[in-house]
Chain A
């Protein structure tokens, strides 16, 4: 489903070339629950951004759902992100002036989905993530855990191929982090593909496939 071949990414930092990714090969199958771990600077976020089509590789090719997406135009990338990728960020990234419901609806609004269809999906998502009571609240009236649940519901609203979570518990206390993690795991149980970037070994240990990165290369790939 996701196939990266020889993906490399180089940044220029202060006139010096930094190889964030060095020829990474990676295949992720449908329904996998995968974690990417590694020290900061190991390239795990860069890898996630490339999978999420927010960043382009300097070399290599990327196939998503049997389609080569390496050389798509900016607008086409935006469309693919909208249809196939759900993002969950460390800092939630909710639009502060919109209610929880409107935030969840946002990708569907941008995609121009019919309001009636949006309402049906929204009702289902609110129920699924236990947010019925909070639909009319704005992010500043929600707890951190609720914010992240809204973000996950938003990521799921377009029925994406994969959920990409970058340190989804990094901004939450331990208990709430566990709760959010179990929500992501439920997505996986329902057949979704989940990729989590984390530096927390405990979280990594809960996933079914663990990637360990160091200096821009995958140094370990454990399953089970």
Chain B
């Protein structure tokens, strides 16, 4: 049988039962649409979270004091955690591949200007902070490269803090009080918005040396190190550990490359996407059962036709292929409809609820389509085999 005739014959059989075909295909369509819609949301969520984390760059390694370790060490063992200091940060500049080293301390402080005051998040940072985290300055400059141990009293305001204190006035050069001390405003950051619930605009940035004094702390909260994007991560990590361990005498700090964090996130989020795809897959299986049912009925109804086809020369394999072809065509029709349906729904959802991140991964769509075909073929196997194994004579007699 020629390929075109084969397709046309199966198509004619499906068309002869339009309503039945449409309803059966709908079962598959709903399954595919569910898979596509759910994976679209899953993938959208994935991208959203990864974007949130990577907007500061991906080639960042965080170093924090203290070691994450198993508890239950013998009592009396001395827990010696040395603080991470500005000197540690300066020393890390010598590590291989390192581009910028940013000591960070964070806290809350009240800032005042001409009688207006506001409690904001205070960041004590190094001068390379803005560049390292890809934050832009809207007005003026970021903190200058002073000696980090004795920096001048300069402050940079977040956009919201600047707006609240100064309104539309230019704050550059004005003096403000931060936690009771006098600072001069040298810059205002561009608005950044909220990142995972943290408002990065209601902030003030001051030199880290002054922040340590203000909070009366010895240790930095974190040292963020950026490295050349093409550098091998393991060597960068190794270099940092070598310098810090030499200075501290032991590894009493934790090194967390953001890439590793992202990998963990990625794994978790991939699992989420896969899980929702599997939920959609269940409806696909239900659609497959629909095909199985309809084809079983079709074989019973068309027994005498099968007998005739065998009498005029169709082989068993030919009959098998005809019914498998019908199953596959049904599934493919449903799959295509489901693709449009799911994609349309994802698009509509995106337009109606712009806050909800939706992204249709086409690899999943293609995969869903293939799965639909396989479901169709699998569902077709039993009825098609039954049709193929009918005795032609018996089949002809049934009327």
Which residues of A does B touch, CB under 8 Å?
Answer: 49, 52, 54-55, 74-75, 78-79, 81-83, 87, 89, 91, 93, 95-98, 106-107, 109-112, 115, 154, 158
The proximity string for B residues 311-345 relative to A, scoring 1 for CB distances below 8 Å and 0 otherwise, is: 11111111000000000000000000000000000
Main secondary structure of the interface of B (DSSP, over half): helix
Q: A154 → chain B, closest Cβ, in Å?
A: 7
The CA-CA distance from A89 to B310 in the complex, in Å, is 14
Chain A neighbourhood of B399, CB < 8 A: 91
Q: Is B293 an interface residue when CB atoms closer than 8 A count as contact?
A: no
Quick one: which of B12, B304, B318, B392 has the most chain A CB within 10 A? B392
Set A54, A110, A115: member contacting B396, Cβ < 8 A: A54
A75/B311 in contact, CB under 8 A: no
Q: Which of B12, B16, B312, B396 is within 8 Å of A82, CB to CB? A: B312
Contact call A93/B393, Cβ cutoff below 8 A:
no
Question: Are A93 and B1 closer than 8 Å at their CB atoms?
Answer: no
Q: Which residues of B contact A52 (CB under 8 A)?
A: 311
**Contact indicator per residue, chain B 153-167, by CB within 8 Å of chain A (1) or not (0):** 000000000000000
Chain B's interface size range is 20 to 34
Cα separation A81 to B316 with both chains bound (whole Å): 13
Q: Please, which residues of chain A bring their CB within 8 A of the CB of B56? A: none
The A/B interface has a contact count, at CB < 8 Å, of 69
Set A55, A97, A115, A154: member contacting B312, Cβ < 8 A = A154
Q: How far does the Cβ of B236 sit from chain A's closest Cβ, in whole Å?
A: 66
B308 interface hit (Cβ, 8 Å): yes
B2 to chain A: closest residue by CB: A112
B147 at the interface (CB under 8 A from A): no
Can you list 29 residue pairs at the A/B interface with Cβ under 8 Å? A49-B393, A54-B310, A54-B396, A74-B316, A75-B315, A78-B314, A78-B315, A78-B316, A79-B315, A81-B311, A81-B313, A82-B313, A89-B308, A89-B396, A91-B399, A93-B305, A93-B396, A97-B12, A109-B9, A110-B1, A110-B309, A110-B314, A110-B318, A111-B1, A112-B1, A112-B2, A115-B4, A154-B312, A158-B313
Chain B positions within 8 Å of A154 at CB level:
312
Cβ-defined contact, A106 with B312, below 8 A? yes
CA distance A87 to B304 in the complex (A): 14
Are B305 and A107 in contact, CB atoms less than 8 angstroms apart?
Answer: no
Contacts A54-B396, A74-B316, A93-B396: A109 and B311 contacting too (C-beta < 8 A)?
no
Min distance, Cβ A92 to any Cβ of chain B, angstroms: 10
The verdict on B5 contacting chain A, using a C-beta distance below 8 Å, is: yes
Tell me how far the C-beta of A201 lies from the nearest C-beta in chain B, rounded to whole angstroms.
25
**Given the complex, which residues of A lie within 8 Å of B1, measured CB to CB?**
109-112
A69 to chain B, nearest CB (A): 14
Q: Is B245 an interface residue (CB 8 A)?
A: no
Shortest C-beta distance, A85 to chain B (Å), equals: 8
Given contacts A106-B312, A115-B4, 4 further A-B contacts (CB under 8 A): A52-B311, A78-B314, A93-B311, A109-B9
Closest A-chain residue to B308, C-beta based?
A: A93
- Looking at the assembled complex, report how far the CB atom of A162 sits from the nearest CB atom of chain B, in whole angstroms: 14
Take A97-B13, A98-B12, A112-B2 as given contacts and tell me if A87 and B315 are in contact as well, using a CB distance cutoff of 8 Å: no
Q: Given the complex of chains A and B, what is the CA–CA distance between A87 and B311 in angstroms?
A: 8
